[in-house]
Amino acid sequence: MLRISHHAVGVTRGSAVLFSAYEDGGLMWTGEGPRMERQRVSFDEPFLTPPVVQVVIAMWDIEGGTNQRADISADQITPEGFDIVFRTWGDTRVARIRADWLAIGQVLHEDDWEI
């Protein structure tokens, strides 16, 4: 459990289209086996410590004639940002993925100052 012992908590969120593989014949649409897409997200303002980050699939466009396999996560979380990682495998064909994310953590308060 992340315990924030500070009186200033920051919350930020965003949305990212990870890829659109259908138009250009990208690997997520044409490939088979393990495939991965990674996209870096930078926060507008840094947190004091790495925040808690939740990532969800907000839109998916997946071909329905095969198994629909998807895994999405946040990786390499720092006070400045994180990576969204999308994975699929087998014969799943993914045309497009949009991910929404939410980050919650400790931030500097306007009353904080150093001597």
Give the domain ranges of the chain.
Answer: 9-106
Instruction: Enter the tokens of residue 5.
Output: 């012992």
Give pTM, 2 decimals: 0.89
Separation between Cα atoms, residue 115 and residue 102, nearest integer Å: 33
CB-CB neighbours of 115 under 10 Å: 2
Separation between Cα atoms, residue 4 and residue 88, nearest integer Å: 35
Separation between Cα atoms, residue 13 and residue 54, nearest integer Å: 9
Of 84, 97, 72, 100, residue with least CA distance to 21: 97
Pick the residue with more confidence: 23 or 60? 60
State mean pLDDT over 3-25: 86
Q: What is the pLDDT of residues 35-91, one digit of tens each?
A: 999 999 999 999 999 999 999 999 999 999 989 999 999 999 999 999 999 999 999
Q: Provide the pLDDT for residue 94.
A: 94
Strand partners, 36: 87
User: Is residue 11 scored above 90 in pLDDT?
Assistant: yes
What is the share, in percent, of the chain residues with pLDDT greater than 90?
Answer: 77
Q: What is the CATH class of 9-106?
A: mainly beta
